Amino acid sequence: MTNLQSHFSKVALIGKIHAPGLAASAGVLEDIAQFLTDLGCKVVLEQTTAQLSGITNYPMLDVQGIGEQCDLGLVVGGDGTMLGIGRQLAPYGVPLIGINQGRLGFITDIALEGYQSVLKPMLMGEFEEDHRSLIHGKVMRDGHCVFDALAMNDVVINRGGTSGMVELRVDVDGHFVANQRADGLIIATPTGSTAYSLSAGGPLLHPSVPGWVLAPIAPHNLSNRPIVLANAVEITVEVVSGRDASANFDMQSITEMLIGDCIKLMKSQYSVRFLHPKGWSYFDTLRKKLHWNEGGS
């Protein structure tokens, strides 16, 4: 068996920092930190995790410090927690393991109960590595960039909560595709194909597929259907009409869009590195989370 130190000597522990009950999870985080320490890892806590949990007996680092100094990020939370930290750590190439303390757990796939038996061989080098692409989006207004962000799941252009439909002009690599009147438009990565896009009728994309899904939300014209595009293209979406439109990145970063604004979307140069238990399969995740028929040999 490979020596542990050659893989992950310094591990960052990252909690569900947006949850009001993080202090109540301090015991869980401390147990995991002790488990890592017993295996010979040097443990640090992500700064906000340390502050909100009240755990003070480990060094703490901000995201930049984790990116520059740590070999691994261990995320304890749900998919939302992983989305947030995944985008921030992607430029540093730090691999991430997720322990699920949320509900669905598509990308935080280790159950909290009994995590030790699954995590130990992974820390010793027995894991599957999985890279997830990101969308890089820029909102342009009068020729200037007014908002710039990354998304791991999706970028959603939405109508206002009390307004009618928005009209959106969609271009792909400079070629006009359509003017769509709808409640909005979702541009999803393969990771995000199991999220909002799925509820809007979009297809599932395997993580290895280099593509994006464009899925309209409640389109006025029912012939406007989801379409899969190669992720090497540049997509431009302009707000033609509609009040109070907004652009959401993973439903975590949001900016308003005015009539005449456009958002330019392209594949980011960065990707997120996930580590899964040996033998992990994307199809196992789909069966479990989507409650598919589990018959067969």
Q: Check if the beta carbon of residue 194 is closer than 8 Å to that of residue 206.
A: no
CB-based contacts of 129: which residues, under 8 Å, 6+ apart? 95, 273, 274, 275, 276
Q: Among the options 31, 38, 71, 79, which is catalytic?
A: 79
Distances 119 to 98, 111, 153 between C-alpha atoms, Å: 10, 10, 25
Contact between residue 137 and residue 247 where contact means Cβ atoms under 8 Å apart: yes
> Distance between CA atoms of 13 and 61, rounded to whole angstroms?
10
The H or E element containing residue 83 is helix 79-89
DSSP assignment of 157-217: EE--TTS--EEEEEEETTEEEEEEEESEEEEE-TGGGGTHHHHTTPPP--TTS-EEEEEEE
Q: What share of the chain is helix, strand, coil (3-state, %, to 5)?
A: 25, 40, 35
Residue 122 CB-density burial (10 A; 0-12 exposed, 13-18 middle, 19+ buried): buried
- Coil, helix or strand at residue 202: coil
- Looking at residue 123, its amino acid is L
Catalytic site includes residue 79: yes
Alpha-carbon distance of 59 to 49, in angstroms, equals 11
Active site (catalytic) residues? 79
